[in-house]
Structure 1
């Protein structure tokens, strides 16, 4: 089915990084006070620390190994979209959760082939913690060794090595699964890059944060 591409909108964001303080569950939330690069890195060290209480404990990420622009942070963001909308900008490798008053929470993302394959408006139909992963048929055709994870075989069980990571958000349009996913990854080095496979990947810490913030039926725009 052909899915129309939305009309172009202009998005304006600050080049200055904005620090994050406070906690939402085990994850830090964004604030508006600007911080120096040193303060931002210090905040990130806490934000991306170990998560020992997860079903599969998640190790810390060294923030010095992450480009600071991909830290989770609050930014100025001009858009016509309503607060609560998720916007994925595949040209910039950013995901925005629109906030009131011209603000947004910005997350860095990595994109696979499937991440570039779809654009338009849809809904986050439902969400899963520590999901099972089932490779699509075309991936199994390219990589027959993945047959053991097919739907018929029950998929790959949850865990730190599961390609969907700690959480997955499933995108539907007109009641149909687009096969487009927002999901976690332990491969922190892939954020901000085009990788070989998958849809839209975030740090496991960030997909957990996003999972807690967005309910089912949240609108999503991919541009």
Structure 2
């Protein structure tokens, strides 16, 4: 009965793991997770069936109780209790299956990370093997040689050609300095210019010279009043 209840009659054909390395371990983990998922699905179906049986026995017990059939009601309650115990065991099994699945998922994740890290380490090792110090020195020397060649080309292009190629640059610089000094000496020897006085034009009038005495100072109000008083006294 328990074999039929927990699905032990049907056997699954195991998938042969791939040979060697993390690929084989990954295949085993995937197969195990698939088997646990199928087992969990079976257990959930059995739980639904047991819950239905529990409800049915409870309804029968109520009906027998209404009919005053005590023995039949007790038998229904016993069956209900048995189904409830089976349901508790199924709940425990489902919890164990889910826990095992979570552990396998974590292991699968860890295995994937380790596999990626191993591949990265191989790539890094290969890169470091190719990056030898001799190769680096040769590359740097080649870059230096190319730079020297470019500077030589630029200097060659900048050299004067034709009739300017035979001219002495130092002699030309000295001659230019002599010309500048001669110009400076000429400027120092020239007399300073005298500003010219502007002659009056024919129609322009000269300013009039003072011909008479300056006008007397205007009298104040007090002086005028004093003169008027003197005139009155004279009369």
TM-score by length of 2: 0.19
The structure in which a higher percent of residues are helix is 2
Larger Rg: 2
Higher relative contact order (CA 8 A, sep 6+): 1
TM-score by length of 1: 0.19
